[in-house]
Structure 1
């Protein structure tokens, strides 16, 4: 009898010494933040250490601060739908076949922005738990457009816009060699869907490659998107036609002094007449040269304007043809962008032509006087 009692006691002690769910183990989740993009699936990894079976255990995934807090509760081989937070309905699962190996990870399908936060994995029978942090991000590719021209320095103003970001990103401009460009402040708008739209403008002058890059990046999610644009060289060739009265006055002054030296020995009245006549002839010659230059410039601008109008007409016809043929959206977008840039160029030529006509009228009046 004593021998049987001893054997039974030894067997019980041996069984309790075996590793199992009621033994000593830890729930292990990663300490680094898990990043998922909006709409993607994500796995929140978690396992038991040592890797003992959790098949017969209740596994609870919860979110502190959310009501109801239960994201996924696995008990008796099934999910307890009745206590699950409705926001996660049909969007979570455990790897049931892996529970016997201690894998208690949870997968979330079609991640939402509201899924961001802290998740806790708990084995209630032994009150062992661990937490993991989920960060949700959203990205989109930026678009670049021609916003205008800065005629004072022969520069082009580019605008970059990117919609649908989360968290709030930053915008950088780079030239063709990868150097950062100085741009204006980034404008940020947060929409009702909590996604951010960012836009930025930069004024660029003609460079070796005339290639520029808009880069939108989010450091927390380690996400970057960028778009490049090549600006044709003739966009920077904005001709300026300022009136420079100082130059006219200076040239006329030299002519006046020369006439004064010639007339020093002549009588005062004759000298004054000669100086006035010489000065007027010099100014008239300068005005005539400027008028001729302006007329040539006007003719050149008219030719450029005619060419731009023809190209716009051709592109519009091609765009209509692409619509009928159901061509890809990328081809249509490229053609629309080209047409838009040509239309902007037309506006510049029209403005230059108007300014040139005004200057010609001014010169005409000056030559009459």
Structure 2
């Protein structure tokens, strides 16, 4: 019997879910599509404070029975808070936010999904997403956590302005987030006109600000440098007092700004001198190169004149000396011939060298072509490398997307498993209740059967009693008639015997008592069935 009762119950679950979805859709159609509303401005909080990220459904919508998500894309895992049916899923939360995030459970039925973060840190800075999967709506909240490592401003003497007769002060402060503003104030709290604020952002994302101001003697000697962050109402300031005697000393000291034009003029003068020196040196070199061809022509002219003088001298010499000179001239001609041969060989060698040079040039051209080809191949390889890197990046992005989708599927799987477990628990509890109800029903049926059996036995006994009573009732009329006859006879005798009436009445009294005794059982017999029937 329990199996027959449990059979239709799972089949009714899809109907129940379909009815629930229909009710939700009908509510959306009647009330309009809900929207998630977040803040329009950046939220700024100080480190160590508690902050609330506002997010609510408009119009009001009960979200106490559905899944809610608060995420930050820069985290891994990215979940800051996840709940289903007002129960938080701690397993999916990022470890850095454990025990620090919560929602207002009592206000979920009014559509308030605001997230409370306790004891915020500088690492909590970022953009948070409020998401309701059933509605497929999302809202973004940007949080900035101001640093508590900001240092007090440091004022130092930067220089002396002789033209204005004042001193230049510099103020610097570090460890700020977000970017602050720097102000100069005099002793009366009035703003001083200062130079532009220089801002530097370090590798730890903290800002360092600095600024300069020229303080003249006409100003108040009390100067204040204030660095403040308006969004967090955080400020640091430093005071300094400039003595009046210091302004008198500055009038006799050289100006810092006067030295810069002098140094610039010296640099320009040195540059001009170096250029002039290089030009003159180049001109001398050109003059030397132009003189070399003239010297060669003069040498040729000198050699021809020497030959003429030598011939005239030979004509004046005697015959022996002429022969010697001829021999000498012959040797000289032979030497010149050998020299010519050597020159020819030299020319051949030069031609060969030129050919070799040409071949070298050709080889160099070939090498250049090979280098071009190599550069082209290298460029192609570089392009292929870039394409491979792009493909690698695409694969990494796809892998990241796949990992995100896998994590999302795992999250959905965990949520579905939790839903299935809750449904199983509900089914098991319903099954136990139905089994218990079946047992109770069986017990009631057995009790009813027992009562029916007892009632039937009682009815049987009552029938038997009734039959006996009816038999007794049927016997009673005969006895009463005999009594009547006896009574009549006794009355007649009494009438005939008036003297003994008292005795006769005394005699008649037992008959009356007997008659009463006979009537009492009849009443009891007649009364018993009525009581038994009523009891039954």
Normalising by structure 1, we get a TM-score of 0.52
Aligned to 1:118: 127
TM-superposed CA distance for 1:104, in Å, is 0.7
Cα distance, 1:26 vs structure 2: 2.1
- CA offset digits 1:312-350 (Å, max 9, x no partner): xxxxxxxxxxxxxxxxxxxxxxxxxxxxxxxxxxxxxxx
Change in Cα spacing, 1:43 to 1:161, as seen in structure 2 (3 Å) is same
Aligned equivalents of 2:119, 2:29: Cα separation in 1: 32
Compute the displacement of 1:150 (Å): 3.0
Counterpart of 2:153 (choices 131, 134, 143) is: 143
Q: Tell me the alpha carbon deviations over residues 134-168 of structure 1, each in whole angstroms, 9 at most, x when there is no partner.
A: 23333646434343663857534433222220133
Is 1:38–1:112's contact at 8 Å kept on the other side of the alignment? yes
Question: RCO greater where, 1 or 2, for CA within 8 Å and sep 6 or more?
Answer: 1
The answer as to 2:81 corresponding to 1:72 is: yes
Structure 2 CA distance for aligned equivalents of residues 138 and 22 of structure 1: 48
C-alpha separation in 1, matches of 2:94 and 2:20:
42
The 3-state SS of whatever aligns with 1:55 is: coil
Going from structure 1 to structure 2, the CA distance change for 1:189 and 1:127 (only over 3 Å counts) comes to closer
Equivalent residue, structure 2, for 1:212: 223
- Change in CA separation of 1:240 and 1:196 when aligned onto 2, cut-off 3 Å: closer
Shift of 1:172: 3.6
SS of 1:64's equivalent? coil
Query: CA 1:146–1:66 in 2, change beyond 3 Å: closer, same or farther?
Result: closer
- SS where residue 214 of structure 2 aligns? strand
Shift of 1:14: 11
Higher mean Cα deviation, 146-155 or 134-143? Answer: 146-155
Partner of 2:169: 158
Hey, what's the Cα distance between the residues in 2 that align with 1:189 and 1:60?
34
- Retained in 2: the 8 A contact 1:142–1:214? no
C-alpha offsets along residues 6-49 of structure 1, whole Å, 9 cap, x if unaligned? Answer: xxxxx999966874899742222122222223332211101122
User: Is there any run of 5+ residues in structure 1 with no aligned partner, and where?
Assistant: 1-10, 243-369
Say if 1:66 and 1:208 are closer, same or farther in 2 by CA, change over 3 A: closer
Give the distance between the partners of 1:234 and 1:21, measured in 2 at CA: 82
Q: Deviations over 1:29-83 (max 9, x none)?
A: 1222222233322111011222232222221111234322211102243322211
Aligned to 2:200: 188
Q: 1:81 to 1:22 in 2, by over 3 A?
A: farther
Secondary structure in 2 matching 1:238:
helix
TM-score (norm 2): 0.37
The answer on whether the counterparts of 1:45 and 1:105 sit within 8 Å (CA) in structure 2 is yes
How far residue 179 of structure 1 moved from its aligned partner, in angstroms, is 3.9
Structure 1 stretch 67-76 or stretch 132-141: which is displaced more? 132-141
Instruction: Please list every run of 5 or more consecutive structure 2 residues that lacks an aligned counterpart in the other structure.
Output: 1-18, 254-536
State the SS of the aligned residue for 1:237: helix
The answer to whether structure 1 residue 95 and structure 2 residue 107 are counterparts is no
Residue 127 (structure 1) aligned with residue 136 (structure 2): yes
Q: How many residues align?
A: 232
Change (3 A) 1:208 1:105: same
Q: Which one has the bigger helix percentage?
A: 2
| 2:235 maps to 1:236 | no
Give distance in 2, aligned partners of 1:104 and 1:66: 21
- Return closer, same or farther for 1:36/1:227 CA change in 2, 3 Å cut-off: same
**Is the 2:166–2:250 contact (alpha carbons within 8 Å) kept by the matching residues of 1?**
no
